[in-house]
Amino acid sequence: MTLAILNGRIITPSGVIEGGVLCRDGRIEAVGAFDVPADAERIDARGKYVAPGIVDVGVFAIDMPAFVAGGITRALLMPDQSPPLDTVALIQRAAAAGKPQVWIHPLAAATRGLHGTDLAEVGLMARGGATGIATGRDWIADSAVMHRLLSYAGALGLVTVSHAEDGGLARGAVATEAESATRMGLPAAPAEAEALAVQRDLLLAEISGAPLHFRQVTTARALDLIRAAKAKGLPVTCGITPAHFLLSDVAMGDFRTFARLSPPLREEADRLACIAALADGTIDLICSGHDPRGPEAKRLPFSDAEPGMAGAETLLALSLALVRNGAITIERLFQLLATSPAQRFGLPAGAIEPGAEADLLIVDPHAPWRIDSEKLVASAGNTPFDGLPVEGKVMTTIKGGTILG
Amino acid sequence: MSSAPPRSTDERLGVHPFPHRHLLGIAGLAPHEILFLLDEAEQWIALNRSTEKRDDRLHGLTQINAFFENSTRTLLSFEIAGKRLGMDVVNMAVAQSSVKKGETLIDTAITLNAMRPDVIVIRHDASGAVRLIADKVDCPVLNAGDGRHEHPTQALLDALTIRRRKGRIAGLTVAICGDVLHSRVARSNILALGTLGADVRVVGPPTLLPPHVERMGVTRFTDFDAGLEGADVVMMLRLQSERMDGAFVPSPREYHALYGLTTERLARAAPDALVMHPGPMNRGVEIASAVADDLNRSAIPEQVEMGVALRMACLDVLTRRQRGVEGWA
């Protein structure tokens, strides 16, 4: 099958170029100007960007309609499933769940049952298709366990994905210690719970030499630690979701449980530090943290509600705000959404170049729409951005040369 | 960045002196609205002191007290208030309810609403839970305490007590002392007394003061003696027993030594300082018996008395719209 996308602005590793992308048999054959074969299906991308498909690191659910609507062509699945992904069989099943559509790359549970005590069979799971390993929703509190884990996984060449919140400080907390939490009477932990966790994990990564990725880093102090660690040459990376660079803790007002997230929303100064870190390269990637939760988990008092947001289909529209505000360029945005995550986890994706797999999205950067939790195609509409008008809509998502939607 | 949808609970109704459907908190109330409720309560104090404690203006209405958290005095106070106004008062205590059987809060709210009550009084141990229920029912809701968030009728009865004893609230120095962190009484009082012009201090061990509480417009003291200096009102808070033994403070006796209100300590406050406590008291922990029982200083029994009158006022005012009272429809 041949597909010719024409008249677009193509985001390539060497910059934005005007022209098209020719896909044949699942791969990119030509970029820019080319002769359109007679049998090719044509897509006119006039006024739109053609970009690499998003590689979303750390989703909590396999939610195909939301991924397709969001331009996500590969998703790294967190091990926090029921049951947790801590055996080879479960990894194999998860890895097969998406193909040939959106590819699911499972992250293996770092510890058995995600209990944070005994190492899971991460070597066997890696052979079975795990793309990396993850501590899950929680931090591993026991430093000895984390030390052994990093040493072991590092030797296997596996990236460990950690959740950066000190378990002791954050226990029972549902918000960041700040004026909002005080006024609302919510149990809260200091924002430094993040830097404390990051610092320990960085030291353990340094002595073990293991590659480490923090799924989300959301505070100025923790970002400073990561900036310094990168300057020292440590193999550390981190991600963030749009919620933490667009919202602060005031979004919890009226006890809106859609704004109950883990880590919790931070104060405005931290939000601004996140945007600076996206611009200066301290933050390596933007992810959706897609975690659809129905009313049974969200229509509860704030402290009793489960954390998490449905983020897949709003990921690109919300991230485009960074480009419009001048914080980053469009090329940098797709580095954050596709190129960097693919490179970090060794996936053959994330760049539009001849020979690469044809994982693409076409986005109209100016198409206006309003985020409406009732109308999201995700399996649940728990978004803290409900009601927000945004610009930028994914028009087409293509995986391996096949149009998914 | 995102805009909140309009909430029924914030809906302002008409132009009458209390244009709110519910009483969910002090936050959002204007000074004149607070004063209106205090003024309305005055008439009920006289009635409550007479032999015939009955006014049937709410006759035929049904009040449900849905208490998801144990309470003796607040429940009793609301029950008496409703009955003295002629309402049929029904109590739903958590021990007898289907909440224990796993029913969600929303389902409970829908069930309560289907019983067609005219007013619902709710206490719950989670901050924000009362608002969640209020959004799902058709009648006025009174918050009788939600988690650490608010306890508006307590703050209003405290303001009423202070106003009657001191003649005013504006310009007074009020020291709120003890476990402010876990206290909805403290939060509502900070908002109510601050709105009415008092100079509010919070005083307690650093482990029991909420972070950034200064941003609520109060002065923070960790030295009890300094916090009491010159105070016109000393409001003591209850320290829950599960927080006394090493979790937030080392021991009850250390707490009493550092933060317990004794006659000697009280001497640092203004000579005519009023001592208050929302109850129930831990005698010998946050307050010495000699202070609690000093009739010249302690307003503690009076707070309970004002509680009934103030709650009668709230029940009356909030049901005026549905009763079609002239000027309120």
Q: Could you report the per-residue pLDDT of B78-132, keeping only the tens digit for each?
A: 999 999 999 999 998 775 555 655 678 888 889 999 999 999 999 999 999 999 9
What is residue B263's three-state secondary structure? helix
> Per the annotation, does B279 bind a ligand?
yes
CATH topology for the A52-350+366-390 domain:
TIM Barrel (3.20.20)
| Nearest C-alpha in B relative to A179 | B212
Is the CB of A299 less than 8 angstroms away from the CB of B106?
yes
Suggest the residue from A275, A298, A302, A383 to mutate for an interface test with chain B (most B CBs closer than 10 A). A302
Distance CA B29, CA A116 (A): 48
| Beta carbons within 8 Å of B311's beta carbon, 6+ residues apart | B77, B78, B81, B142, B153, B157
- Chain B nearest CA to A306, separation (Å): 14
Give average pLDDT by consecutive 10-residue segment, chain A, 405 residues.
96 94 96 95 97 98 97 98 97 93 96 97 97 97 97 97 96 96 97 98 97 98 98 98 98 96 98 98 98 93 96 98 96 98 97 96 97 97 97 97 94
Q: What is the distance in angstroms between the Cα of A148 and the nearest Cα belonging to chain B?
A: 32
**Domain locations along chain A:** 52-350+366-390
- According to the model, what pLDDT value does residue B11 have? 54
Q: Give the whole-angstrom CA distance, residue A79 versus residue A56.
A: 14
The verdict on a CB contact (< 8 Å) between A186 and B148 is: yes
List beta partners, residue B63. B89, B119
Q: How far apart are CA B159 and CA B34, in angstroms?
A: 9
**pLDDT score, position B70:** 85
Smallest CA–CA distance from B8 into chain A, residue:
A254
Check the annotation: does B184 bind a ligand.
yes
Please check whether residue A388 touches B, CB under 8 A. Answer: yes
Per cent of chain B over pLDDT 90 is: 84
Measuring CA to CA, which residue among A261, A300, A295 is closest to residue A380?
A: A295
Q: Is the pLDDT of residue B7 over 60?
A: no
Q: Give the single-character DSSP code of A309.
A: B
How close does chain B come to A174, measured CA to CA in Å?
11
Side-chain half-sphere exposure of B148, counting CA atoms within 13 A: 20
Confidence at B4, pLDDT banded by 50, 70, 90? very low
Please state the rounded mean pLDDT for residues B174-193: 97
B154 annotated binding-site participant = yes
In this complex, the residue of A185, A295, A385 whose CB is nearest that of residue B148 is: A185
Under the banding of pLDDT at 50, 70 and 90, the label for residue B13 is low
Of the candidates B122, B98, B278, the residue with the CA atom closest to the CA atom of residue B186 = B278
What is the spatial distance between Cα A306 and Cα A334, in angstroms, rounded to a whole number? 31
Instruction: Give B38-50 pLDDT, tens digit per residue.
Output: 999 999 999 999 9
Best mutation target among B69, B154, B212, B248 (most A Cβ atoms within 10 Å) is B212
Nearest to A115 by CA among A90, A87, A84: A84
All residues at 6 or more sequence positions from A153 whose CB lies less than 8 Å from its CB, including other chains? A110, A122, A133, A159, A160, A210
Q: Tokens for A248, please give them.
A: 């602060």
Q: Does A390 touch chain B (CB under 8 A)?
A: no
Q: A73 and A102 in contact (C-beta within 8 Å)?
A: yes
CA dihedral A362, A364, A369, A372 (to 10 degrees): 20
- Look at residue B10 in the predicted model and tell me its pLDDT: 47
**Per the annotation, does B73 bind a ligand?**
yes
What pLDDT sits at residue B95? 59
Q: Cα(B89)–Cα(B117) distance, rounded to whole angstroms?
A: 10
Mean pLDDT value of segment B275-303: 96
What confidence category does residue B5 fall into, taking pLDDT thresholds of 50, 70 and 90? very low
Structure confidence at residue B116 (pLDDT) = 96
Choose the closest CB to A185 out of B106, B184, B212.
Answer: B184
- B74 annotated to bind ligand: yes
3-state SS assignment for residue B199: strand
B293 CA: distance to closest CA in chain A (Å) = 31
pLDDT of residue B6: 41
pLDDT over threshold 50, residue B2: no
- Three-state secondary structure readout of A66-123: HHHHHCEEEEEECCCCCCCCCCHHHHHHHHHCCCCCCEEEEEEECEHHHCCCCECCHH
DSSP 3-state assignment of A404? coil
